[in-house]
């Protein structure tokens, strides 16, 4: 997620688009959805806070998770961003084929 903090939400939204484009253009994700701003309540560096964030939902292969994580950690503006995976337990055959072929390593 990209938090708004002191900068305008638009700037965080633009950063989310840039990050999504970098992951998808590298074929590490078949697609990305950008959700936001969303309200967030959190603890960060010992302080309680709230703000607005932008969330990226990336469509990736499980076997490429490590590459995706490394890419996100390298290109994300935060030092310790939330990066996690939710497994796809079932899906339409056509969708799953698209996901596999679009993100197949060269």
At 8 the pLDDT is 44
Burial call 35-54: b when 16+ CB within 10 Å, e when fewer: ebbeebeeeeeeeeeebbbb
DSSP one-letter code for 103: T
pTM higher than 0.85 for the full model?
A: no
7-16, 37-46, 70-79, range with the lowest pLDDT:
7-16
Written as one string, the DSSP assignment of 56-80 is EEEE--GGGHHHHHHHHHHH-SSSS
Q: Percent helix, strand, coil in the chain (nearest 5)?
A: 40, 25, 35
CATH of segment(s) 2-102 = 3.30.70.120
Q: What digits encode the pLDDT tens for the residues 30-74?
A: 999 999 999 999 998 899 999 998 999 999 999 999 999 999 999
Per-domain residue ranges of the chain: 2-102
At 9 the pLDDT is 53
Arithmetic mean of pLDDT over the chain: 89
């Amino acid at each position: 997620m990209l938090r708004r903090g002191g900068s305008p939400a638009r700037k965080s939204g633009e950063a989310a688009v840039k990050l999504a484009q970098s992951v998808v253009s590298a074929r590490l994700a078949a697609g990305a959805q950008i959700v936001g701003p969303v309200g967030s309540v959190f603890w960060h560096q010992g302080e309680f806070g709230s703000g607005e964030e932008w969330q990226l939902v990336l469509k990736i292969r499980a076997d490429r998770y490590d590459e995706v994580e490394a890419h996100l950690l390298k290109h994300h503006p935060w030092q310790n961003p939330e990066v996690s995976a939710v497994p796809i337990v079932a899906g339409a055959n056509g969708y799953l084929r698209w996901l596999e072929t679009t993100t197949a390593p060269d």
